Amino acid sequence: MGFNDSVDLILKAIQETPSIETIFGFSQSGAMLSLLLYFNLLPLQIKRIIFVGAFFPLIYIIPSLHIMGLEDSVINHSLSEKLASQYLNPVIIIHKGKQMIKIQGLHLEIF
């Protein structure tokens, strides 16, 4: 059974059992449930999920440069840091300013 078939089976079981409000995700099934949440595929009847030994399976392997300002009042730098954590070996530049692009030549060479 492949990924799509597994997703279809889970969603069908939930739809056929409207009393299900809690889902238990253990190991790889926890990873699958985290993907279903990420892509907003779980029905609204699901109120909570229990994860045991689970992980979020998406790590982007493309090189990434993340620039964030400590005084950004639009996007808090913690949100940008969370995004950066989804990439393998991200280059992160934090400056003291607001939401702006502030790059020096050295930073581009690093990237």
Average pLDDT score over residue span 10-33: 89
Residue 96 within any structural domain of the chain:
yes
Q: Residues 49, 38: contact at Cβ < 8 Å?
A: no
Q: Which of 35, 27, 32 is nearest to 54 (CA)?
A: 27
Give the pLDDT score at 78: 86
| pLDDT value of position 12 | 92
Residue 111 scores a pLDDT above 60: no
Query: Is 18 a domain residue?
Result: yes
Q: Which of 50, 38, 24 is nearest to 10 (CA)?
A: 24
Number of domains in the chain: 2
Could you list the residue range(s) of the whole structural domain that residue 79 is in?
65-110
The per-residue pLDDT for range 51-95, each reduced to its tens digit, is: 988 888 778 888 888 888 888 888 888 888 888 988 888 988 888
Q: Which amino acid is at 52?
A: V
Residue 27 and residue 48 share a domain: yes
Closest CA to 71 of 103, 101, 91, 99: 99
Cα(22)–Cα(52) distance, integer angstroms = 14
